[in-house]
Amino acid sequence: MAAKLVKAFNYAEDAVLAYFFVGLGLLIVVDIAGRRLGVTSFYWLEEFGRYVMIFMTLLGASKAVKERKHLSMNAVVRRLPERWAHLIQGMTDLACCAFLLYVDYYAWKHVVHLHRIGVETSTLGIPFYIPYLPIALFGIGMFVRFFICSMQEFRVFHKEGAMKRVPAKGADFR
């Protein structure tokens, strides 16, 4: 049951990223064509595009953490014996968790502040806290994913490196 739920969530994550990317691209093309033809453009597209790009960037970053495809500096970890590399990677993942807790605390504080003062966006006219909400939400997602990765690394460390690196997906730049 849990595996099906995770699979469905992963599919939804990919679909949202793809549809938002294609949808925003199509809107920009239509807007540019409309301007060339002398038709009024979507006055709200720049602001909407900015918020969609923030949303997609943070969702993509959260997905990259899960798949271990995020940018990382791991030259030292790769030179260590496998068992100790798992320990250091797990500790690094926990440090990322601590950093994300710090950032997310202030993200939520900012969202609550924007909600309290009731400011609206300039062209879309939506409450200003809504575009900032993904920062706080995906911060939680990245925290959870880094925490899961750290627990996987520690589990492998305790098994004395019997398993391969966790998870061994994606490009491996050695």
**pLDDT per position as a tens digit, 88-138:** 899 999 999 999 999 999 999 999 999 999 999 989 999 999 999 998 999
Contact indicator for 140, 62 with CB cutoff of 8 Å:
no
Predicted confidence band of residue 160 (pLDDT cuts 50, 70, 90): low
Contact indicator for 58, 40 with CB cutoff of 8 Å:
no
Give the mean pLDDT of the chain. 86
- Does the pTM exceed 0.85? no
* 143 vs 109: CA distance, rounded Å: 17
Instruction: Return the residue matching tokens 């949808």.
Output: 23
Contact indicator for 100, 142 with CB cutoff of 8 Å:
yes
Contact indicator for 148, 94 with CB cutoff of 8 Å:
no
